[in-house]
Amino acid sequence: MVLTMITEDQVNFFHIFGFLKLPGLFKDDIGWMTEEFEKVFVNANVHHSGDQTSNIAPFIDKTEKLSALLEDERIEAVASALLGEDFNYLNSDGKFYSGNTLWHRDGLVQDKVRFIKFAFYLDPVDGNSGALRVIPGSHHLDDQFGNRLGSGFYLNEVKKPTGNDYWGMSGPEIPAQTLDTTPGDLVIFKWPLFHSSWGGGLRRRMFTMNLSERIQEEDNAVLAKVMSWYPQGYSDTMLNTVTGKGRKHLEQGLAYLHSIRDNK
Amino acid sequence: MKLTSEQVDFFETFGFIMLPGILKDDVEWITKEFEQVFPLFEESSNHTGDKRTVVLPFIDQRKKLSALLDDPRILGIARSLLGDDFNYVCSDGNYYSGDTNWHRDGRGHNLKSLRSIKIAFYLDQLDGDSGALRVIPGSQLEGSFHNKLHEMSKNPGKSLALWGIAGSEVPAQILDVTPGDLLVFDHNTFHAAFGGGRSRRMFTINLCQHYPEDSLDLLKTVALGHCTYRRHVYYGPEMMNTDNPERLAHLKQILSLTNNLYEESSHLPELHRRTGDKG
């Protein structure tokens, strides 16, 4: 049974606008989450200098406590409501962000399979300090709006924008919703939603979990593409930790990885 | 003064554009003229604040306001977005009171129509808490996003039923405005205003593309949709009182479709002019 952590109204909102913020859903866990986050970087011997974003992926797979998020009833409830109870955990990343992140979509631009990102921000951020900005409704891939944005952003990305390169505007001037966050909030958005962040410091901590709905056999090419980004598969820590109800969220990924190994 | 190609592309993508301060040197006379229009009619002479008071057509009632249609700044915007042969459709002047729920504009207008735009002149300083215009960027474009929002806009307050949020919480761009700014948006862009006072002054000029011969029925539907009272001539007296060929060019297509307006508007009430002031 899935607990009610998210209402039907919120699910409808998410599908129309492409994002959702659940304030304070993890506010009682932010202490240990932050400790674990820091531990992963120390253990990986990654020293963030601030010159550029430092990234570790997969991320939650690195520790038992973070891996156990896949067994957490809040993750289970929210992801099930958005993707179905048999959703897949695909991968994760943890970052010390530095500077701006330009307007972009995540992952694959396709409409066969729903992919979403859960983002945990470990520092308070607002529009002037690197909060996530999203363009509501830009994830509808068949819509003219998303297509026009794609043309506008990617055309200018080639020029490596540094100034007023988007329709004569700078990145933070683009019409968007700024999602101010306090540690403990959960921000969720669809991969095709255009997003960015501006004005942030050199040491913003954030980690994400990438999830999808269960992928139909005819769309195996999509699964193959996504899994190819992380050929090492799930860590032993993850596999040894997630042994309960969360295990089903690894099943499809594991089956695919096994099939690849068997075919070698 | 034409918009740049980037501004036009921005408008076509997001469905609106804000032009800060473009009329800042004209706010004083425009406001005086605005105030002069409402006393002209019985129906608009006493704004109590209980509800919106509107005059339509609006700029047509005053010589100086009508001449905005000859102003190079307005012409530049219109030509850039609609082509040199655009039509002047109508204007409205308003004392707004309270909230305006989410909707798109265009009486008789729809996604299949040619482009129609609204140029909005706000005569009071407004922000998100005091009735500033909110728009949903990109909502003017055909697609599932527009269709879902259309569902929401059919009934006031439906955002609460659909998504559990008040209209003011719907994700949108709030366009804080200072008198002298111009806000331009596509008639299909969803927009609203929340939290405003009871006497917010604003008027608009509505324009559309020149319609081809095979679509004139649709243009006539759009034009008649803007008729809210019975009259002989589609445009107001001061709008017609010109020999400027450029202005007349922007009036002639709709005039040609409304030769029998008095008969066709027989179901509408008469508007009662109070004074002989010709502006």
ipTM of the complex: 0.92
Q: Do residues B140 and B207 touch, judged by C-beta distance below 8 A?
A: no
Distance between CA atoms of residues B111 and A65, nearest Å: 52
pLDDT band at B106 (very low <50, low <70, confident <90, very high): low
Q: Is the pLDDT of residue B179 over 70?
A: yes
* Average pLDDT per 10 consecutive residues for chain A, totaling 264 residues: 75 96 97 98 94 93 97 96 97 94 88 95 96 97 93 68 77 96 97 94 95 95 90 93 95 92 77
Of the ranges A113-117, B112-116, B152-156, which is most confident?
A113-117
Q: Which stretches of chain B are DSSP H helices?
A: 5-14, 27-37, 63-66, 72-82, 144-153, 158-163, 216-225, 237-240, 245-249, 252-257, 261-264
Burial of A248 (0-12, 13-18, 19+ CB in 10 A): middle
Q: Is the pLDDT of residue B110 over 70?
A: no
Query: In terms of CA atoms, which chain B residue is nearest residue A12?
Result: B163
Q: What is the mean pLDDT of chain B?
A: 91
**Length of chain B as a residue count:** 279
**Is some CB atom of chain B closer than 8 A to the CB atom of A145?**
yes
Query: How far apart, in Å, are the Cα atoms of B136 and each of A175, A196, B140, B157, B171?
Result: 9, 18, 8, 16, 7
Looking at residue A109, its pLDDT comes to 80
Residues B223-277: pLDDT tens digits? Answer: 998 888 999 999 999 999 998 999 999 999 999 999 999 999 999 988 888 765 5
Query: In terms of CA atoms, which chain B residue is nearest residue A173?
Result: B173
**Is some CB atom of chain B closer than 8 A to the CB atom of A4?**
no
Query: In terms of CA atoms, which chain A residue is nearest residue B5?
Result: A167
Looking at residue B278, its pLDDT comes to 47
Query: How far apart, in Å, are the Cα atoms of A244 and each of A27, A73, A250?
Result: 24, 12, 11
Determine, for residues A140 and B145 on separate chains, whether the beta-carbon distance falls below 8 Å: yes
pLDDT band at B46 (very low <50, low <70, confident <90, very high): confident
CB pairs under 8 A between A and B: 73
pLDDT band at B45 (very low <50, low <70, confident <90, very high): confident
Determine, for residues B164 and A175 on separate chains, whether the beta-carbon distance falls below 8 Å: no
- Kindly list the strands in the beta sheet with B133-135, ordered across the sheet, starting from the edge strand earlier in the chain: B100-103, B191-193, B133-135, B173-175
Q: Which stretches of chain A are DSSP H helices?
A: 8-17, 30-43, 64-67, 73-83, 144-157, 220-228, 236-241, 248-263
Distance from the Cα of B6 to chain A's closest Cα (Å) equals: 5
Looking at residue B279, its pLDDT comes to 42
Q: How many helices (H) and strands (E) does chain A have?
A: 8, 10
Looking at residue A2, its pLDDT comes to 46
